[in-house]
Structure 1
Amino acid sequence: MDPAVLREDMVDGLEQSLGERLDERVDVAMRTVPRHEFVDDQPYANRDATENGSRVLAPSTVARLLSALDTTGGENVLVVGAGVGYTAAVVAELVGESNVQAIDISRRMVLYARQRLAQTGYEGVLVDCRDGASGYPEYAPFDRVLLEAAAIRPPRSLVDQLAPSGRLVFPMGGPKQTLVAVEPGPEAAGPDGVVERYGPVQFAPMLVDGEQPDGLARNRTVREDREYAESGWHARAGWEQEWVDWDEHL
């Protein structure tokens, strides 16, 4: 069947599954982005999927995130957790591709997202390999930050990189999580700067450098991780056996 028809059917069904009307701009953006270019297996089914070893959010979840993000057009946006690039592409439709920066802790996913975004016409979206907890200070301040991973409280670096009128949207809590919007400044309405809550969600926790599945084995010190990386393929024999397991010494 024509992907455009399937895409129309997908978005038409989202209002029924969410029980409310979609934000008009989000509705149009999701009807525009060819999701089948990012997801190979049943791309227009309203369910989570796995692509290139990464979780791809269900369309209804993406719609909830972007409605909470509350863009009006032209904002500078950071997407933390680029994944396959689909959410970043929809954000690009909302604010313009040159206004979207996306980061992911997995270099494999960064390369995958860059490829998919380029082949679908969103090559203006910048995708970089970064630790999401540190944000992307080179391009701050951001009018909007979307974190596609759960955290117990708003990551301080991400809040600090918001513009004065900015907004951070992320799943807060663990294991029970709530989708929240956070704004900076003393005028914020609730604890941790939470200004709005959008109901329960379930996301994987945010990873920090060393926890990504395609990265180096994590030990207790940054120095050791760096030494292991610098040892390369020609590390001297027995190096691995000299690795310090700090758990045995605590």
Structure 2
Amino acid sequence: MEFEAQRDRLIRELRQRGISERVLNAIRRVPRHLFIPENEQQYAYTDYPLPIGWGQTISAPHMVAIMCDLLDIRDGMKVLEIGAGSGYHAAVMGILAGSGHVYAVEVIEDLASFARENIKKAGITNVTVIVSDGSLGLPDFAPYDRISVACAAPEILESLTDQLRIGGKLVIPVGQYYQILYLVIKTNGFKKEEKGEVVFVPLIGKKGFL
């Protein structure tokens, strides 16, 4: 009950930021405390990033919400996430994708196992966590309707835009110490929009920073 009241308060805060009801409903259905180490669970419904181990963090709820709103994930879509972390963002996108599927790539094997356990505990069945170099995307299941990148890239990566369906959308933070969040829409070319300054952990991989 304590977590439920905290979650309700968080939803009210996110609504004041202008987050869509579809995304708010998805966030309400995913218990964030299940995706956080036990010693941090008291802070699960504060609107801040939190450490999840392995030098990584879980994004602040408002950032998850903003990115989901920008992507406009709909029922039946195939979604790629780069940087699964503890699995929370992928779980929220899984709710939005409905009969679709989310493929979440994580380069740290132990963290990927943690994410799988959390997603299972939350009862989410349409998310697959794969250990791989996310900077290269996941060509096995391409093309994707939506791609979400939850780590900072040095540029808008061609390895990801190549795996995006025509009409598809990509959100990606670009920069090293602080980043600009970009929404990229693939047409015959690309439409690129800046969506504000953000701070993410660096993308690890061949086309990342590390």
Work out whether the TM-score is over 0.5: yes
Cα distance in 2 for residues equivalent to 1:108 and 1:88? 17
List runs of 5+ in structure 1 lacking aligned partners: 213-217, 219-250
Number of the residue aligned with 2:201: 204
Q: 2:133 aligns to what?
A: 131
What letter matches 1:139 in structure 2? F
User: What residue identity is the alignment partner of 1:34?
Assistant: P
Conserved 8 A contact 2:30-2:92: yes
TM-score by length of 2: 0.90
Alignment of 1:45-56 (within 5 A): 45-53=46-54, 54-56=56-58
1:144-181 CA-partner distances (Å, limit 9, x unpaired): 00011111321111110001111110112233411111
Partner of 1:29: 26
Larger strand percent: 2
1:13 aligned partner: 13
Q: Which has the higher contact order (CA 8 A, sep 6+)?
A: 2
Cα offset, 1:5, TM superposition: 1.9
The answer to whether structure 1 residue 3 and structure 2 residue 3 are counterparts is yes
Q: Which amino acid aligns with 1:197?
A: E
Q: Does the alignment pair 1:108 with 2:110?
A: yes
Q: Is the 8 A contact 1:97 1:122 kept in 2?
A: no
Give distance in 2, aligned partners of 1:5 and 1:145: 32
Alpha-carbon distance in structure 1 between the residues aligned to 2:49 and 2:179: 17
Runs of 4 or more above 3 Å deviation? none
Match of 2:165 among 163, 166, 171: 163
Q: How big is each residue's C-alpha offset from its partner over 1:54-85, in whole Å with a ceiling of 9 and x where there is no partner?
A: 21111111111111112232211001100000
CA RMSD of aligned residues (A): 2.0
For 1:1-250, list aligned pairs within 5 A: 1-16=1-16, 20-39=17-36, 40=38, 41=40, 42-53=43-54, 54-96=56-98, 98-189=100-191, 194=192, 196-208=193-205
CA contact (8 A) 1:114 1:123 kept: no
